A and B are shown apart, each in its own frame.
Chain A
Amino acid sequence: MTTENVKLSSLFAPEQVTCHLDEMTCHEAFRHLIKLIGTGDHTVDVEDTYQQVLARKSCGIAFVQPGIAVIHVRVKGLEQLRMAVGTSRKGFRCAANVEGVTCAADGLSSVKLIVMVLAPLDDPTGYLRSIAALTHACQQEGFIEQVFRQEEPENVWETFEEANEYLPAYLVARDIMNADFLCLYDTDTLSHAIDAFCRLGVSELPVIDNDGDLVSIAAEDELIRVCLPEYITWMEDLTPILNFEPFAEILRRESHVPLLEIMQFSDRYATVDEESPAIHVAKVMLRRDVHQVYVTRDKKLLGVITIQDFIHKVLRA
C-alpha cells in the first residue's frame, strides 16, 4: 500500500506514457493504457481490468481540470499504485461513433490528457491521493501547457518529475468535497426554499451570504415543523386540520417570510475546515449524527461532503 513521501512521477515510468493517441477511440485508449501498466506489472490482468473500466458508470471518469481526465480501477492483487498517461492533440473519439456500441465515456472529445490509475483493492485512499497530487500539479503555472506540448514519452514523464508533486500523506476534507454545490442566499424567502426543495429533491441546503460565507442551513424537516408545530400535533382529533389548514398560513406568506424561519441553529449542522483530515469528517458525521458536512475556509463555504460521497469515493471510486 502506498504510504508517505510518494512522488507522483514515481507511479509510472516513460514506458507507461504514450503521446498522440489521436487515432484511438476512448475505449481503445483505455485498453492501451492498461496494457502499458501491465507490461511493467504482471499482476495486472489487462482484459479483466479493461472490463472493470467498461462496467463502471461513465467508465468512472473524473475530470480534474478541463481537458484532463482520470480513470481509476481497483485491482485485486496489485501491491502499489500504478499510473499510465496518454496525450492527444485532437481529443479522444467516442467509441459509439466508431464501433456502433453504447459509449458511456462521453465528453472526451476535448480531453487532451488521460491518466489511468490502478490502485490496490485494499487501498481506500490511494486513488484520491493521486488525484489530489495531480490536481496540485495541474495548478502549477504552465504545467498543463507543457505536458500538452511534449512529443516524446520521456519528456512527458520529465514534466511530471519536474513538477515535484508528492502524494499527500492523507486526504483532507478539500480532497473529497463536492465543490459544485447548490445553495440559498440569506436574503431569500421561504418561497425560494420550497421551490428548491421540490426541484432538487434534497433534504437540506446551505445558506450563504453575499460574501459566500456559510450562514446556516435550511432544512426540509424544519419547514414541516414550521407548517405543523408540535402543539398542533398533540390533538388526537385531527378534524380541525384535515385539510392541512396550518399550511395555509405558509402559502399566504411564503413570498415574504424570510428564510431565517427554517434555518437551523449552528449546533444542528456540522462544518469542517478544508484542511481537516478526511477521516475527521467521517468522525464528525457519526458523532453529530448528520448526513452531510460543510467544508469551509474561515467562514467561506467551499464544498459539501455527503455520506454518499464517502461511500462512493472511499469504498467504490
Chain B
Amino acid sequence: MVHGNEAEAPMSGSALAIRFAILTASSAVVSGLVHFVWGLNNAQTISVTVFLVIILATLFFWSFRLAIAFIGLPALILTKTLDLECFREHCSLEVILFLIGMMVVVGGLRDLGFFTWIIQAILKMQGMTGRRFVLVSAVASALSASAVDEVTSILFMSALIFQVCDVLKVRPIPFLIICVMATNVGSAGTMLGNPVGILIGSRAGLTFEDFMIWAFPVMLLSLVATIALLLVWYRKEIMELDARLKQRRDHALPLGPTVAVPFRRGLLLIVGTIGLVALHHRIEVWLGLETNSVLYMAPLVAAGIVMIWRRGRARHYIEHDVEWWTLLFFLMLFGVAGTLQYTEVTTEIATSLKNLIGDDSVAMVPLVMTMAALGSAFIDNVIFVAAFIPVVQELIGEVAPVHPLWWALLFGACFGGNITMIGSTANIVALGMMEKRYRTRINFLEWFRVGLAAGITACLIAWLALLVTGPIMLGSQG
C-alpha cells in the first residue's frame, strides 16, 4: 500500500544542525507561549510540546519520524502526561488492523494482475486523444483511490503515465500532477481512500454508507471541478500530447504491449472486499453486532482468504506489502494525539474556537475545512486529523455521528493535500518515483501555483455542498 522510498538524501552536518536548532527553538517558544500566555498546565504543556516535536520531525527529519515518535510516547508516559490505559484507548488498533488487511488485499490484487488489467484497458482504448487521456486517467485515479487507497492508486497510475509519456516522449510532470490531484480528491470518497477517512469514521462512528451518501457525491463534484481546472491549466501540454497521440494513431501503433491477463480472480477479490465493507452496517444490524465491527474485520477476512488462496506468497504479503513503518508511526501518533484529549488541550482549543465563532457548529464548517486544508498542506494529514478529531467532538457535542464538521475535516484534510508537493503521501510517493526514473525534481512553486488553485477549488465546492447538505444531515437527526 504505502511503498514510498524511505531513503532520504544525506543531509550535511550544518543543515542537520540548523533544522535541529529550528525544531528545538520552535518547540521551546511554543511550550513557553502555551504555558505562560495561554495558561496551560504542566501536563498540557508537555503534551503540546511532544506533539509539536513529532510534527516538526516529520517536516524536517522525515526518515527519523518513527524514531522520534518512539521516544515521544515514553516521554509522555514517564512524565505521567499519559497513562497506558489512555494510550490503549486512543491508539486506534482497529484502524491499524483495517489498514493491514487492505494492504494484504492490495498485494494480492497486484499479484493477480488486477492493476495490469486496468492499465491495459486504458492503453487499449480506441481513439485516445490528449483530453480523453487526461479525463480517463484522472477519473481512474480518483475511483481507484476510493476503492483501494490513495498510495496504491498513484503507484499504478504513475506507471500508466510513465508508460504513455515514455512512448510519446512528452514531459510526464503535468500528467503526473493531474493524476496525483485526482487521487487526493478521490481519496475523500470512501472510508478506504485515505487513512484519514477510516480514522474519522472510526472516531465519529460513521458507516461506509454514510460516506457513500455524504462524501462520495461531493467528491465527484469536486473531482469534476478539479479536472476542469487542470484541463485549462495544462492545455498546452495536453495539446502536445494530443498531437503525439494522433501521430501514433495514424501509424496504428499501440501505446504499449498488452497480454491476456486472467483478471477475473482479482476482480472477484476487490468486488468481494468492497462489497463486504459496503454492507458492513447492514450486516452489523442484522447480526446485532457492535457498530463498525464488520467494517474493521472485512479487510482481515479478505486478507486471510488471499493468504490461503496464495499460500506461497502469504509471508511476502505480510513482510513486504504491509507498510509496518507507517503503521507503527500511526499507532504511536494516535496515542500521542490522544494525550491532547486526555490532558484536555483539545477542550481548550474547542472553547477558543467557540469563543471566536459562537456555538453554531455549522458556521464552523469553513473554519475547520480551512484549518484542515492548511494543516494538511504542510504536515501529514493523519497527524492533523488525529489531533483535531477530539476538537470536533467537543464542538459537536453529544449528537448523532453524521455532522457537517466531520465532512469538513475529511474534505479539508484530503483536498488540502493538493496544495503542496508534501501535502499527502500520494504526492511524495509519485514525486519520488518520478525523481528516481527521470532524475528530475519538480519545483516547489510549480506545484504550489496549481495546487493552491486546485485545493481552493475543491474546498469551495465541498463547502457549498455542505451548505446545502448540512441542514439536511442535522434535520434528519431531528
Contact = CB atoms under 8 A, between A and B. Distances in A.
B438 A265 contact: yes
B251 A237 contact: no
B116 A235 contact: yes
Contacts of B130: none
A260 B111 CA distance: 32
Contact of A234 (B116, B167, B262, B310): B116
Interface stretch (B155-163, B199-207, B413-421, B455-463): B155-163
Contacts of B258: 246, 249
A178 to B, nearest CB: 25
Given A240-B259, A253-B253, A232 B112 contact: no
B439 A267 contact: yes
A230 interface: yes
Interface residues of B, number: 31
Contacts of B310: 236
B262 A240 contact: yes
Contacts of A234: 110-111, 113, 115-116, 156, 159
Given A236-B313, A240-B261, A250-B257, A231 B438 contact: no
B163 A235 contact: no
Interface in B100-119: 110-113, 115-116, 119
Interface string A254-279: 00110011010101100000000000
A6 to B, nearest CB: 41
B254 interface: yes
Contacts of A263: 169
A228 B119 CA distance: 14
Given A246-B257, A267-B439, A268-B439, A236 B111 contact: yes
Interface in B238-293: 251, 253-254, 256-262
| Overall SS of chain A's interface | helix
A237 B257 CA distance: 17
B63 interface: no
Which of B116, B260, B440 has most A Cβ within 10 Å?
B116
Contacts of B119: 231
Q: Interface size for chain A: under 10, 10 to 19, 20 to 34, or 35 or more residues? A: 20 to 34
B120 interface: yes
Contact of B259 (A225, A226, A246, A265): A246
Contacts of B169: 260, 263, 265
A183 interface: no
A298 interface: no
A241 interface: yes
A227 interface: yes
A232 B259 contact: yes
A257 B116 contact: no
Nearest to A262: B166
A253 B163 CA distance: 18
B163 A256 contact: no
A241 B116 contact: no
Interface string B289-326: 00000000000000000000010010000000000000
B314 to A, nearest CB: 12
Nearest to B172: A265
A261 B439 contact: no
A256 B251 contact: yes
28 contacts: A226-B257, A229-B163, A229-B256, A229-B257, A230-B163, A231-B119, A232-B257, A234-B113, A234-B115, A234-B116, A235-B110, A235-B113, A235-B116, A236-B111, A240-B113, A240-B260, A241-B259, A245-B257, A245-B259, A245-B260, A246-B259, A249-B254, A256-B251, A260-B169, A261-B167, A263-B169, A265-B169, A267-B438
Interface of A: 225-232, 234-237, 239-241, 245-250, 253, 256-257, 260-261, 263, 265, 267-268
Interface of B: 110-113, 115-116, 119-120, 156, 159-160, 162-163, 166-167, 169, 251, 253-254, 256-262, 310, 313, 438-440
Given A256-B251, A265-B169, 12 more contacts: A229-B256, A231-B119, A234-B159, A236-B111, A236-B112, A245-B257, A253-B253, A256-B253, A257-B253, A263-B169, A265-B438, A267-B438
